[in-house]
C-alpha cells in the first residue's frame, strides 16, 4: 500500500479493514491518515464537512472530535491485533483531543484492568 492519496480515502479504507477484521491493513491505512500531518486536524475533517455545512461553528467545534475518532479507530485496530501498549497510547491521544469522550476512557480502563489481571496470574 502506498502512502499517497487523500486522507479521507485512507480513513475509509482503514475503517473498512477494521470492520473486516484485518487489523494489520487497518493500522497501516489509519497511520497514513494520522502521519500525513498530525497537527492538521482541519484537513482530516474536510471529508466530513458536508455533514456540518449548515452551521460552520458546529463544524469547527467538531474538528477535534473527528480527529480523535481517527486515533480511536487506530487504537481499536491495535486491540484487534493484540498490541495493547500501542492501543493504550492511541486511546490516550484520542482522550487528549476530546477529553469529554467516554469511549476512550472506557477502553483505557479495560486495557488497564486486563493488564492488571494478567500481571497477577
- Write down the domain spans for the chain: 7-120
Which pairs from 77-81 meet CB under 8 Å and 24+ separation?
77/14, 77/17, 77/18, 77/23, 77/26, 77/27, 77/30, 78/23, 78/27, 79/107, 79/111, 80/18, 80/21, 80/23, 80/26, 81/23, 81/24, 81/27
For the domain with range 7-120, which CATH number is right: 1.10.3720.10, 1.25.40.10, 3.30.70.1900, 3.90.1640.20?
1.25.40.10
Region 30-39: mean pLDDT is 73
Report pLDDT digits (tens) over 83-112. 999 999 999 999 988 888 899 999 999 999
Query: What global pTM score does this model have?
Result: 0.71
Report pLDDT digits (tens) over 37-91. 555 555 545 444 434 444 444 444 455 556 788 899 999 999 999 999 999 999 9
Instruction: Say which residues have a Cβ less than 8 Å from residue 51's Cβ, sequence separation at least 6.
Output: none
Q: Please report the pLDDT score of residue 28 as a whole number.
A: 92
Q: Please report the pLDDT score of residue 104 as a whole number.
A: 94
Instruction: Say which residues have a Cβ less than 8 Å from residue 35's Cβ, sequence separation at least 6.
Output: 3
Q: Please report the pLDDT score of residue 101 as a whole number.
A: 87
Rounded-to-integer distance, Cα 78 and Cα 50, Å: 30
Q: DSSP assignment, residue 5?
A: S
Amino acid at each position: 500500500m502506498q502512502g499517497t492519496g487523500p486522507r479521507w480515502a485512507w480513513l475509509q479504507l482503514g475503517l473498512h479493514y477494521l470492520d473486516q477484521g484485518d487489523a494489520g491493513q487497518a493500522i497501516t491505512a489509519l497511520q497514513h491518515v494520522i502521519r500525513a500531518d498530525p497537527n492538521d486536524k482541519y484537513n482530516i475533517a474536510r471529508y466530513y464537512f458536508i455533514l456540518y455545512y449548515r452551521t460552520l461553528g458546529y463544524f469547527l467545534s467538531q474538528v477535534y472530535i473527528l480527529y480523535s475518532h481517527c486515533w480511536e479507530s487506530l487504537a481499536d485496530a491495535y486491540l484487534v491485533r493484540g498490541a495493547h501498549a500501542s492501543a493504550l497510547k492511541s486511546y490516550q491521544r484520542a482522550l487528549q483531543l476530546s477529553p469529554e469522550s467516554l469511549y476512550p476512557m472506557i477502553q483505557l480502563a479495560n486495557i488497564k484492568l486486563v493488564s492488571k489481571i494478567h500481571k497477577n496470574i
